[in-house]
Amino acid sequence: MHAGWRIYAIWACCAARLAFYAAMLPLWEGFDEWAHFSTIRAMAGGHGALAPRDASVPRDVAESLNLAPVAWELRQYPPPAVTQDAFWTLPAEERQRRETAFRDMPAAWRTERGPQSPTAYEALQPPLYYWLMAPVARLLAGRSLAAQVLAIRWLSALVASLVIPLVYLVARAVFADIRIALGCAAVAALMPEWALDVARVGNDCLSAVFFAGVLWLGLKLLEEGPRLRWAAALGLALGLGLLTKAWFLTAAPAAALPFLWLARGGRIAQAARAGALTAGIAVAISGWWYARNLAETGTLSGLSEAVMLRHAGAAEMASGALRVPWIRAIDSILFSHLYFGGWSSLEVRSWMYHLFYVVILLAAIGLGRMSRWPRRAAVAWLLAVYLAFWAGQLYNVVLIHLSKGVPTSMGWYLYAVVAAEVVLAVTGLRAILPEKAGNWPVAGGVLLFGLLDLYTMHAVAIPYYTGMIRHKVSGALGALHAADFQAVGFSEAARRLTVFKGGVVTEPVVVALWAAYLLGTAALLAAGWRLSRRNILR
């Protein structure tokens, strides 16, 4: 059986879903979105190949934070800024005044710096994503701020959709059954937090593609031996990834494992030559960036928490790690990985997270049964990369706890290794369940994430972004009731999703993209049902 058109259909369904996510999200609701966008603007504006680390945001971006509603996590931002919660309680005239002022901002503000503009702190990130998006910003220099943001969102979402065929290729290298590999791609395509993470202005979309590429190329080396073309391609993917996101440092030591495995077969010289080629290409592409960070900040990553703690010794870091409440930290990583909304920290009911926690635990237990792994070397490689990434997450917990006093890390970071995560979860579940369960693990994943996505979109995200629900005094999000929806209505909700979108996302556009999103989601759910149905018939 060949995948044929099926993987392209899954890919298209994912792209349709991401297009709606990008249009639905309010301006700057994506994590750190205005800082990412300002870094692109700085590189597009002729300020050199690298944006200054202390560059302030353009004046129109700074002013937009005073006009458009800001995310709940920015609720301490000084007036006249208001949160999403407060914006929809303003009189209609005031909301209209703000949108008119946003639309009529002078074009000159795009290149000016305001007197109190915040810092574009994402200039600390590796530059590849911003280099790629800078020509888009230059091309759209005459368009409105909203039009530029939406164009880069849609392009970022399109780039991120490349993860789906790569998930299929990674799964295909592990499972003999093509249906399971297709199901793994469908599971990834339905994950709501992954969609929120990549359908924004930000470099996570590109890093996820390179990480999936690294995983697949490592599997090709294990399958075909130390061939130089695969070693060179792995070095290219690793180097470009390191130039996109600092978390690729976790993949660097893991990248040596395929060559060590191949050397076991007596091909030591061949494996060493191929490994040296991979390392050489990766260092040639990205080494200068990390050398620059070391010279300027004394740290490899150059990111703020690492810089704040650059003088901390090993003993202080170890002592800090012992003081971290690790159960709380891991819980925060997992729930912000499963669903955390955008920058407004939207959450669902606790039992929903706990249901996924049970599945995660079962998969982890199943991975301990190595005798039931389909292809041992392939699964071991994926597990090594995934655990290395988790080690980076836990190190980030220590940095954040020591520098800010909060025991957490960002769970959506884990979507960088979503290809490994999905395949490992299916492997673990298939190992712990009876053989007659067949395709049910992957079909169940499609069902769980599909239902979570539909619920979070229609009972959490859209109601919150259109003013139907808001945060309580405790910070928890209120539940949606029928009266809340009736007070706004479908037509008004569609209109509210177009505010501060510069006339690019209109009501007909919102409805059309929403219909495409529903169609794509339904098709992916149907694919999961077909997987389980065929198993029953057998």
509 vs 501: CA distance, rounded Å: 11
For residue 202, being part of any structural domain is answered with: yes
> What rounded mean pLDDT belongs to the chain?
92
Whether 115 is covered by a domain: the verdict is: no
pLDDT confidence band for 538 (50 / 70 / 90): very low
Tell me, yes or no, whether 509 lies in a domain. Answer: no
- Is residue 212 helix, strand or coil? helix
Residue-wise pLDDT for 408-440, tens only, equals: 999 999 999 999 999 999 999 999 988 777 788
Q: Would the pLDDT of 219 be above 50? A: yes
Length of the chain: 538
**Amino acid 307: pLDDT:** 84
- Assigned domain for 399 exists: yes
516 found inside a domain: no
For the chain, the straight-line distance linking the first and the last C-alpha, in angstroms and rounded, comes to 16
Structure tokens at 63: 């002013």
What distance in Å separates the CA atoms of residue 33 and residue 25, rounded to the nearest whole number? 11
Band of pLDDT at residue 536, cut at 50, 70 and 90: very low
Share of the chain above pLDDT 90, in %: 73
Amino acid making up residue 59 = R
Section 319-332 average pLDDT: 93
Question: Rounded to whole angstroms, how far apart are CA atoms 71 and 77?
Answer: 10
Q: How far is CA 468 from the centre of its chain?
A: 27
What's the rounded mean pLDDT across residues 527-531?
82
Decide if 474 is inside a domain: no
Number of domains in the chain: 1
At 45, the pLDDT band (50, 70, 90 cuts) reads: confident
- Chain Cα centroid distance, residue 27: 17
pTM listed for this prediction: 0.95
Q: What pLDDT is stored for residue 537 in this prediction? A: 37
Cβ atoms of residues 195 and 22 within 8 Å: no
- Checking if the pLDDT of 484 tops 70, the result is yes
Q: Supply the range of the domain harboring residue 260.
A: 5-27+159-457
* Cβ-based neighbour number of residue 75 at 10 Å: 16
Q: Please check whether residue 441 is in contact with residue 181, taking contact to mean a CB–CB distance below 8 angstroms.
A: no
Q: Is the pLDDT of residue 214 over 70?
A: yes
**Distances in whole angstroms, Cα of residue 366 to Cα of each of 188, 219, 432, 441, 535:** 20, 21, 5, 12, 21
Instruction: Identify the pLDDT of residue 528.
Output: 84
DSSP one-letter code for 54: T
Residues 6+ apart with CB under 8 A from 437: 430, 535
Tokens linked to 521: 């989601």
DSSP string, 382-394: HHHHHHHHHHHHH
Report whether pLDDT(120) > 90: no
Contacts (Cβ under 8 Å, ≥6 apart) of 176: 374
* Residue 88 counted as domain residue: no
Q: Which residue has the higher pLDDT, 226 or 240?
A: 240
Residue 24 in this model has a pLDDT that exceeds 90: yes
What's residue 3's pLDDT? 65
Confidence (pLDDT) at 349: 92
Among 110-114, 238-242, 469-473, 479-483, name the most confident range. 238-242
492 belongs to a structural domain = no
Is the pLDDT score of 116 beyond 80?
no
| 303-325 pLDDT, tens digit each | 888 888 888 888 889 988 999 99
Confidence band for 47, pLDDT divided at 50, 70 and 90? low
